[in-house]
Amino acid sequence: MPKWKFPNGQGLTPKGVNNPSIEIFLDNVAESLTREVLQNSLDAKDKSKEEAVEIRFDFFEMPTENISNIRSIRDEALPKALELWTEKNNKDTLDFLKRFSDVLHAPKVPVLKISDYNTTGLNKKKYESLVLGDGYSEKDDTDSAGSKGIGKAAPFAASDLQMVFYNTLANEGTEKSVGVMNFVSFKIKEENFITQERATCVEAETDYIAEQQTFGYPERKNDEFGTDIFIIGLKNYDEWTQNIVLSTLNNFLLAIIQGKLVVKVGELETINNLTVHSLMNRIYEENKLSGDTKAQFLKTYRFYEVLTSEQTLEFDLDERFIKYSFVKDKADAKLYLLQHEPANRTVLQTRAAGMKIYERNRVSGNINFSGVFQALGK
């Protein structure tokens, strides 16, 4: 039976709830979570398949008792953590433990399941960097974004328990699952043994569970490679669906239009190269957004016009760029420009996979234009 392991040692420094890797995602949890998860799934595309990478977001509740080995957390780790941090009188950590206790003692717990398809799943190296490693990640090719491993903390920022379960079927033929919890330190013995903050739910002799764990969902079939993320104790934010949809459009518009990405949010929203047009226009015409959310969507809408207008001009790199060592061919990038009003006067820079990297402004103060630049070279 899988059990929670709390690595520990004598004389370790106690760690509270303030984890910098998680805190950087707290300002806009849904936006950050969506961007990081979709990026990772695009990077893990199974190149043997022609179909687009597909990611599904599903919200559900389950009995709290269904959390693996919950009693060791609720009846052992939590009381000991409360004892230590009450003694230290650390408000942030005590507030976290209060929320943690409330969630664990409720009859049901909210969960967000995020699943990708037409991907490779987690091979041995990816699994080790995701679950065991800290400060790095494993990527398959040079177009993959990010290597510092920070983004894997985003799902924990979405959980009141800072608890995530991973389930994967890898194309190398392995299936495994694991629970990971970013908790806080507590004493486990009288001799000043202190736990580290990161705990894992695994089998006794391994660093994983050697079978699929899907919390009531069907297990993946033999050729249904990919990864499921279960965010346990999902934070109670308003407009989860809307924010996931907007983050998808704002960060992955080109990938969707080019047919590289399909995103499904619940039963009601499917975003692909066919539905994106009506979705973009519906949000634009309804005009229900406000503040920074509205401003960002309007920028995205101008880029959408660039990518869909018959008046858009398309350029390859010219001879001026060949002198640079990082440019191998004129086809290493595409630039799309549209002169229109209103305009962003901004160029959206994207990776080959179609994910937004940066919005470059201050290009011209005289011409009303919007542009999209897609890097295609290696």
Q: How far apart are CA 25 and CA 270, in angstroms?
A: 25
Same domain, 263 and 343: yes
What are the DSSP calls for 97-126, one per residue? HHHHHHHHTSSEEEEEEEEEESB----HHH
> In this structure, what token pair is assigned to residue 184?
């806080």
Q: Structural domain of residue 107, as residue ranges? A: 3-237
Question: In this model, does residue 329 exceed pLDDT 90?
Answer: no
Q: What is the pLDDT at residue 134?
A: 63
Q: Which of 219, 237, 255 corresponds to the end of one domain?
A: 237
Q: What is the pLDDT at residue 148?
A: 44
Q: How far is CA 27 from the centre of its chain?
A: 15
Same domain, 143 and 258: no
Same domain, 220 and 248: no
Same domain, 230 and 322: no
Same domain, 222 and 258: no
The total of structural domains in the chain comes to 2
Same domain, 10 and 61: yes
Q: pLDDT tens digits for 42-66?
A: 999 999 999 999 999 999 999 999 9
Whether pTM exceeds 0.85:
yes
Q: What is the pLDDT at residue 190?
A: 67
Compute the average pLDDT of residues 221-233: 96
Same domain, 124 and 222: yes
Q: Which of 216, 237, 258 corresponds to the end of one domain?
A: 237
Same domain, 204 and 305: no
Q: pLDDT tens digits for 348-373?
A: 999 999 999 999 887 766 789 999 99
Q: How far apart are CA 7 and CA 23, in angstroms?
A: 22
Same domain, 132 and 211: yes
Q: Which of 207, 237, 267 corresponds to the end of one domain?
A: 237
Q: How far apart are CA 315 and CA 88, in angstroms?
A: 62
Same domain, 123 and 211: yes
Same domain, 49 and 190: yes
Do residues 161 and 104 touch, judged by C-beta distance below 8 A? yes
Same domain, 368 and 260: yes
